[in-house]
Each structure stands twice: as C-alpha cells, then as structure tokens.
Chains A and B, each alone.
Chain A
C-alpha cells in the first residue's frame, strides 16, 4: 500500500458503557480488511483506525459488535458543512413542528379568551373543562417544550441559568398557577381564578417559531464562509507512474504532478511546470481580471483555470493551502469579538439570575401593594418578566454583525484578523503608505545609466548586477533583471556588506565597488560634483537614482523607475475624501519621493526613512493623537505594521503573507484599504444598532412587564405579548446583521 492511500479515520462510539468494551471494539475493527491498527480512547469514546478500509465497513463492524458508531469527519470541512446544513434543517423542521402543535392549542384558546372574555373557574363544569385543557397544555409542554424544561433542569443542576431557565420558569409558573385554580380554587381569591393555559401554549409556540426563524437567518450570516469552503475542489487529477487518475483531494501529496483542464478548479497550491493559461483568482483576491500563468508561476487552490490545460507540481496541500489558511482566518475572525461587545458579555453573564430576582421582586411588590386580585397580577407580572427578558438578543448583537462583516470583507479580498482589528480600522484617522510595492507596482525597471567615468555600460551593469544578485529588494531585482535582459553575466564578489538604508559594498575583480544613495557616497567621501543635479533631475521624474562608485570614484548613476499602480491615485483620493490623512513613507531619496507623492496627491511624505525609523514615524503620528493604519508588504515593514494601530499587509494575488498583519489585502490595489475601512465602519454601525436595540428592548421591556406603567396607565403586559416580543427580539438582531450582506464594499 502506498503511504498516500493510508488514512486515519476516527469513529465515535455510542453505547460503550464499560472499559471491557474497548477490547471487543478494537478487535472487531482489526478484523476488517485493510485495517492496520485500531486504538480506542475509552474516556473520549473514540476509536482511531489506520488503514484503507472504507468508513462503511468500519461502521458495520462496530454495529455487528453491538455498538453504535459514527465516523468523525470533522477535518473534512466540506462534509462537515453539508452535515451541519442537514442537522440545521432537521432542527428547523422540529422547531416548526413543535410550534405548530403549540399554536394549534394556544391560538383557539386565545381567541376563546378574546371572544368570551372569561377564562375563569367558577363552576364544576368549568373545572372539568379547564382540567382537560390543562392536560392538553401539559402534553404541549412535554411534546413541544421538552427541550426548554430539560435544558432548564440541566442548567439548574449545574448552577447556571440560561434562556431555557426563563422560559421554563415563566411557562411553568403560568401552568402551575392555572392548575392550582382548577384543583384548589378555594386557595385563590374568587377574582383571581383565571387560568393562563393559553399563555403557556402560545409562549412555547412563539418561542419555537422565533428559534426556527433565527436558525434560518443565522444560516445566511455564514454565506461568505460557505462560499469559500465551496471553492475547494473534491478531487485532483494526478499523474503518477505516467498514468493520470482522479483521486480525493486529501490524498494529494506535495510534489505530485497535477493536471488541470480548462474550466476546472485548481485543487491544491503549486507551481506550473507545463502549459500556459489564464486563471480567475477573483474569488480569493477580488481582482476581476484573469491572471496569465505559465511555467514557474504559482497557482492557488480554489481558483479557476479559464483557458489552457496545465500541469503543476503541488507545493502546499491540505490545511497549508492559501485557501485553507484564508478559510481558517475568516472563521477565526468571524468568531472573535471586538471590544465594543465586552459590556454585553459582562451583562449576559449575570443576566438570567438578575431577571429571576426582578421577577420575584415584582411578584412581591404586586402582592404587597397591588390591587385585587393581587395574586393574579403577581403571577402575570412575574411570568411576563421571565418571558420578555432576552439575553440572546444581547449575546447575539455583536457576533452576528462580525460574522457578516468579516465575511463581506473576505468577498472583497480583505482578510480581517479579528474583531479588535475590525473595530480599530473603523476609527483610523491617518493612513501611512509605504511607497514601493504599495503605491507603486514594486517591480521597477532600469530607465537610465548615466556614465560619469571611462567605464563602459556593460561593465557597470555587470558589477551592479553582481552586487545585487543576492538581494530581494525590488530596486536590486530591477538591476539584476536588466543585466539578464542584456545578456551580461555576473562576476564574483568578496567582502560583501549591506549598509541598511544606504546601499551595499563589496570587492569585485579586485576593485572596491559601492552602490547606493547619496548618504552612502558622502559617508565614504566619494566626490559627486555636479552629478548631484543629474540625480535630482532624474528623481524629479519619479525615478530613483543610485550612485555607483568604483575604487572611490563615481562611475555612474543608475536610475530605476517603479510605475505607480493604475488605481493608486483614485484610492488615495477615496481615503482622503473619507477624512483620512494619508502619509507616504519611503527609503527612497527626497526628490523621487516628492515626485511620486505629487503624482498621487499626497502632501504629507517622509523620504529617506531607514527601515527602523518607519516605526518611529508611526509613533510620532500616534503621539500627535492619530489612530494610525500602516500599509506595507508585510515582510520588510513588519515592525511598523506591528506598531501601527492597524497593520495592513498588501499583496499581489495569493502570494501575500496572510497572517502577517491585522488586515491582509489579497489584491495589490489600495482600494482594498478603503474597502476594509468602509466595511469596518458599516459593521461597527450595525453592532451599535444591535446593542442599542437589545439594551433598550430589555431595559424598557422588563420594567414594562413588571407593571411599572400600571399605576399611571392601568396597563399590564400579557405574557403572550411578552413571549412574542422575546421570540422576535433575537430575530430582529440577526436580521439587522443580515442587512450588512447588502453592503457594497467596493465603491469604485
């Protein structure tokens, strides 16, 4: 068996009551053909099975041994999503069924109460009639409301309280009081001999309806993550031993050669080794134009091959693919909470017992100071308080909006790390942009070689390329690329040293060679003479001039230009229109920086900033009271990104280091920053609406239910209305969060 065909499966065992079952289950599984080992963890009731046996064979072996088994496939997100949807659908149907049964009793009773106006127990005939209704209500409580009572009892035993506790206490009190009226009417004043069976049935029905609708609405909040998970291919066509075959994606190994035909999804990350095509990466980057790919280019899982057939070598599989990392990051961010939600969390923690205390206090107040029948008023107010209070609306207010907001951002190629980043991004007042690779394309080209000595251009280019061969700086790459294009071969160097923020020096073919900025030349006492003006002229054209000296004499000025991204100007204007101060930082010389800044409309820029000084600039802005966002490539700017209130890593396509910053922009456009800020603001606004609504609902609803308006207006809330309000308060929060789905992040 090939290692790739070996797999580990986990089976959850139900019905294993004693440790002696372990041996029986393990040996039953080991007898299945293809199983190489089976080990059971009794405490966790999980057997880990290695081998290539099918899941069905393993389950039937467990069943034959007298136990129930379920494959634990949580690692397979796609399956787990389908299973989750199936489980949610089954639960939704159950809730609707429970609701129908409860309302089938509750609505006629309520209509009867409204039409006849009497639900009291005065005659023996009425006692028998209401007893039958009480029994029917009990059946509804057991059938349709069982989950509330079991949940409440479990919580109570556990010294905790939740929504079930409130519903169970509210409906239970109403039913119990009504049964006392039926069985022991003499204990209750004649005026108070009312029954509240309709309230019990209606509350159970309405809350089940609210839960069902909330479940549906919740499903919509996670559409973004479902879409991302849906991007994953299920199979890959691999070429092994010269033969092509389709295998499940989880069996693809690193270095496997994978063929992808036009129209198919790229199954795992890799490097193209054969063929040429255009790939649609919009689902990951938000960039609508397909990207040309040929030999040596990288491809990412989840993107779609549009035109040609390619073969690529797998470089990242399973949880390591860019898509898997994106899914993981979005999931984590969706479940994190911004600080704004913390107060609601603290309140939620104390909510239910406090409501119970208010209900008891309210009942006592009515009994002591209420009009006749005080006992009926006490029961109605206590029941209404218990039923109207909704901890769920408070608890859901923040996470539901974050879920939709983070998902919305992901659709636009903006990955937000957590709730805190989301909240801070909405408050940014200053945005610092690195020039190279952020405002510009980051792929400069050599534009001018101004020779200032008797050396020829080929030798200059040879020395310069030799010096820069080991560097990954975009300017260095431009020199190396230019030498390659002209067929100039590199020499050999010794004593190489890089002087951070200044340039490099080394010995090449016995000559001491320096290559860098004006500062480097001045420090090394190289005479620049009038050539400074030449350099300034080049810089004024937004080119970056670099001085090249051989044996302590200036030999040439090499100018490199990095084109400005086509939409940088519009994106910077968009930020400025939103009241954000845009600042440019660059290690480049002042003249070049000025030329670029002027072109893109930035008046606030700092040139010749050493890498370590970028953090200082961020600090200075923070000291001036700004909330600072910093955008860079996520690698060279790491300290500044970390120090900024929100760090934005900008990339081109899926190569960007996804986890390097608070917010990752999957496409190179600066519009991503404006999109991220816009979606953050919209999400925070939505959270505030939800929190305000939930707070107001509870702050106003609970006293109203307790009867504070009764002394003035003579109004006391019916428990049925309280139940309806409670059922729909959570739904309102989830629906308001869903409004965010309509938000358009890309306003350009």
Chain B
C-alpha cells in the first residue's frame, strides 16, 4: 500500500510540475512570418516571444472544427477575434510593452502566451 500511496503522491507532483511549473520553450518571432495553427485542442506554437515596441501581426490557421476553437482572446490587448475554419486569419498587435500576454479561447481550454522582451 505504501508503494501505491507513493506512486499516487508522485503522480500528483508530476501533474503540478507538468502543467504549472514547467515552462515550454518560446518560439522567437522577429517579423510577421510565423503561422500559429489551432488543431487538436492546442495552439502550435503556444509560447511566442516578440520584440518590444514593434507592431506585429499574428497569423492563425484554425484546423480544429470544434466551436471551442473559434474565438481567440487576448484580454490584455482587448482583442477578441473569430478564427475561420481552414483559413488564415491575421491579427495585428499594437506595439507591445515588456510583459506577458496570454491568449486563449473563450473557455481557456486552448492557451498560449506571448512574451514581449
């Protein structure tokens, strides 16, 4: 029983580390040439590094037919756009101040982050 309990606690620790503590690698974006696909419940890439003070366009391609994937919100930038299915949608961003900007679907099941640095 001790082993099972330890395995269970290890699993809980793994969940905490995997979903909250681990920071995925950021993809650096210097100009407008990056395509973010929305497929199978995720944005890919989901962590994007952008330069500070430059207006840039994020380009999304939604391949996921689930209605959950339709809306893209960037609350800090007051952006909410619908992503058409199987079409490219460009979303211009204002020049960013240093910081992190989350982007996600309406229910926050699809999540990504922009880091301006």
Question: B89's closest neighbor in chain A, by CB?
Answer: A74
How many Å lie between the Cα of A58 and that of B4 in the bound state? 62
Given A360-B12, A395-B107, are A91 and B66 neighbors across the interface (CB < 8 Å)?
yes
Task: Name A158's contact: one of B11, B33, B46, B107 (CB within 8 Å).
Answer: B46
List B residues 50-92 near A (Cβ within 8 Å).
59, 61, 65-68, 71, 73, 75, 78, 80-82, 84-89
Please report the total number of A residues contacting B with Cβ < 8 Å: 66
* Interface residue SS majority, chain A: helix
Binds B, one of A81-89, A317-325, A580-588: A81-89
Task: Name A364's contact: one of B4, B42, B65 (CB within 8 Å).
Answer: B4
Assess whether B93 is interfacial by the CB under 8 Å rule: no
Assess whether B117 is interfacial by the CB under 8 Å rule: no
Task: Name B16's contact: one of A84, A349, A357, A392 (CB within 8 Å).
Answer: A357
Chain A residue numbers with a CB within 8 Å of B108 are 345, 348-349, 391, 395
Assess whether A301 is interfacial by the CB under 8 Å rule: no
Q: Contact: B1 with A159, CB < 8 Å?
A: no
Assess whether B34 is interfacial by the CB under 8 Å rule: yes
Chain B residue numbers with a CB within 8 Å of A478 are none
How many Å lie between the Cα of A147 and that of B9 in the bound state? 30
Question: A90's closest neighbor in chain B, by CB?
Answer: B65
How many Å lie between the Cα of A332 and that of B88 in the bound state? 19
Question: B80's closest neighbor in chain A, by CB?
Answer: A335
Chain B residue numbers with a CB within 8 Å of A44 are 32-35, 59, 61, 88
Assess whether A290 is interfacial by the CB under 8 Å rule: no
Q: Contact: A160 with B42, CB < 8 Å?
A: yes
Would you give the shortest CB distance from B1 to chain A, in whole angstroms? 7
Task: Name B87's contact: one of A70, A337, A368 (CB within 8 Å).
Answer: A70
Q: Contact: A360 with B16, CB < 8 Å?
A: no
Q: Contact: A12 with B87, CB < 8 Å?
A: yes
Binds B, one of A161-169, A468-476, A489-497: A161-169
Would you give the shortest CB distance from A307 to chain B, in whole angstroms? 38
How many Å lie between the Cα of A72 and that of B62 in the bound state? 12
Task: Name A218's contact: one of B67, B80, B82, B85 (CB within 8 Å).
Answer: B67
Q: Contact: A391 with B107, CB < 8 Å?
A: yes
Q: Contact: A158 with B42, CB < 8 Å?
A: yes
How many Å lie between the Cα of A537 and that of B85 in the bound state? 68
How many Å lie between the Cα of A713 and that of B39 in the bound state? 44
Task: Name A332's contact: one of B40, B44, B80, B87 (CB within 8 Å).
Answer: B80
Q: Contact: B16 with A353, CB < 8 Å?
A: yes
Task: Name A154's contact: one of B9, B15, B35, B42 (CB within 8 Å).
Answer: B42
Chain A residue numbers with a CB within 8 Å of B110 are 160, 162
Would you give the shortest CB distance from B79 to chain A, in whole angstroms? 9
List A residues 138-162 near B (Cβ within 8 Å).
147, 150-162
Q: Contact: A360 with B41, CB < 8 Å?
A: no
Would you give the shortest CB distance from B23 to chain A, in whole angstroms? 8
Would you give the shortest CB distance from B26 to chain A, in whole angstroms? 13
Chain A residue numbers with a CB within 8 Å of B39 are 154
How many Å lie between the Cα of A213 and that of B67 in the bound state? 12
Given A336-B80, A367-B1, are A84 and B46 neighbors across the interface (CB < 8 Å)?
no
Chain A residue numbers with a CB within 8 Å of B1 are 367-368
Given A12-B88, A395-B106, are A361 and B35 neighbors across the interface (CB < 8 Å)?
no
Assess whether A642 is interfacial by the CB under 8 Å rule: no
Would you give the shortest CB distance from A4 to chain B, in whole angstroms? 24
Assess whether A459 is interfacial by the CB under 8 Å rule: no
Chain A residue numbers with a CB within 8 Å of B24 are 158-159
How many Å lie between the Cα of A158 and that of B107 in the bound state? 17
Beyond the given A150-B41, A159-B18, could you list 17 further A-B residue pairs with CB under 8 A, ordered by the A residue number? Answer: A43-B34, A43-B35, A44-B59, A80-B84, A91-B66, A154-B39, A155-B40, A156-B18, A158-B42, A161-B19, A214-B67, A349-B108, A353-B19, A364-B4, A367-B8, A391-B108, A399-B106
Closest 8 A-B residue pairs measured CB to CB? A395-B107, A151-B41, A335-B80, A162-B109, A43-B33, A154-B40, A353-B19, A348-B108
10 sample A-B contacts, Cβ–Cβ < 8 Å, listed by A number? A41-B32, A41-B33, A83-B84, A88-B67, A159-B19, A159-B24, A162-B110, A214-B67, A337-B75, A396-B106
